[in-house]
Structure 1
Amino acid sequence: MTTTPHTLPASSDQATWSRILALHARVERQLGQAMQRRHGIGLSEYRALEDLARAGDGELRMQELADRIGLGQSSVTRLVGRLDAAGFAFKDLCPADKRGVYAVITEEGRQRYNEARATYADVLSSALNSAGADPHLAGTVQALRSTT
């Protein structure tokens, strides 16, 4: 089989990765729009609230939060600043190590997260169902769902 730079064989790692990225972009767009429209928060803010809400004491080191949601240090600092301005979280210094900065969820942040959880789950399922009907993405969706 001959290929050009624009047509990779379906079994290649690049073609597989391309389908994953296409699926990711489609689902993220739908999730982001729903979070913003229905709950007034971006997708990164939702994910930060989720990680903070799931943390045993409702707080995470800023670097750990950045790693969990896939952001750099400066991006997570701005994100927590937005959550702080909205009353959903705040920054706190570690009492034992004043260099350690934590993000801490507020009760209002927990409430917003709890309100948004069902939307996230519903939109995620709907987006995956829709993508699963696309012949180019059906196998990728099926593979993802078969691992859970």
Structure 2
Amino acid sequence: MIADAQAWDRVLALHARVEQELTKALHRKHGLGLSEYRALRRLADSPKSGLRMQELAEAIGLNQSSVSRMVARLEDAELTVRDICEDDRRGVYSVITKEGRKRYEDAEPTYLTVLSTALTKAAGDPELAAAVAAIRSA
């Protein structure tokens, strides 16, 4: 069980390192937080360019309150809009706008490049090499 805890600690260290690099690059180059980028990606990839707020929360790993605040920021920036669910008037969708899709498409190469670079750099760390190898072989 100690080995599991040590392996998990390495995964968390890798996660923190990569997330930090992604966060800095997305904010500096595109004015987006990492969760905002992930939300735009999920919305852009969804069949109707939108998701119910609960679906979006689950897709990006945030709680409902955090997603509501993030979506409000995206709306203020005109990257998303809210829409009422036709089937259930209580349901609210977040829908990506044309500007939101453009911002996502502009940010995607940065995300992919920084992710690859951060993983390659981490692979050179003996403590993290096995975790990187596991991710890249999945």
* TM-score over 0.5 for the pair: yes
Residue among 54, 75, 97 paired with 1:84: 75
Residue among 45, 52, 55 paired with 1:61: 52
What's the counterpart of residue 65 of structure 2?
74
Residue among 28, 36, 43 paired with 2:27: 36
C-alpha separation in 2, matches of 1:97 and 1:57: 16
Unaligned stretches of 5+ residues in structure 1: 1-7
Higher RCO (CA 8 Å, separation ≥ 6 residues): 2
Dislocated runs of 4+, deviation >3 Å: none
Residue among 118, 129, 142 paired with 2:133: 142
Are positions 1:98 and 2:89 aligned together? yes
* Count of matched residue positions in the alignment of Structure 1 and Structure 2: 138
What is the deviation of 1:95? Answer: 2.1
C-alpha separation in 2, matches of 1:91 and 1:66: 14
- TM-score, normalised via structure 1 length: 0.91
Identity of aligned residues (%): 56
Unaligned stretches of 5+ residues in structure 2: none
What is the deviation of 1:139? Answer: 1.2
Name the aligned partner's letter for residue 29 of structure 1: Q
Structure having the higher Rg: 1
Name the aligned partner's letter for residue 58 of structure 1: S
What is the deviation of 1:146? Answer: 1.4
What's the counterpart of residue 4 of structure 1?
none
RMSD: 1.0
C-alpha separation in 1, matches of 2:35 and 2:101: 15
